[in-house]
Amino acid sequence: MGKFSAAKIFDAVDQKFQKAYNYLIDLLETGYVVESRINDKAIKVTMTAAKPYEMSIDGKKQIYISSSGVLVPNIYDINEDGRVDQEDCDLLFNYILHGKPESEYLPRMDVNGDGRIDSSDLNLVYRATGTFGYYPDHLKYGDHTAGIDNVGFYTSNDSGETRTYLVTW
Residues at the interface with Ca ion (CB under 5 A)? 77, 79, 81, 83, 88, 110, 112, 114, 116, 121
**CB closer to Ca ion, 47 vs 116:** 116
What's the rounded Cα separation, in Å, for the pair 103 and 93? 13
Closest distance of CB 19 from Ca ion, Å: 43
Those residues with Cβ within 8 angstroms of residue 65's Cβ, 6 or more apart along the chain or in another chain = 51, 52, 53, 54, 71, 72
Closest distance of CB 115 from Ca ion, Å: 7
Q: Concatenated DSSP letters for 31-48?
A: -EEEEEEETTEEEEEEE-
**CB closer to Ca ion, 54 vs 88:** 88
Task: Output the CA–CA distances (angstroms, integers) from residue 17 to 5, 12, 13, 24, 30, in the order listed.
Answer: 19, 9, 6, 11, 20
Closest distance of CB 76 from Ca ion, Å: 8
**CB closer to Ca ion, 35 vs 104:** 104
Closest distance of CB 78 from Ca ion, Å: 6
**CB closer to Ca ion, 46 vs 91:** 91
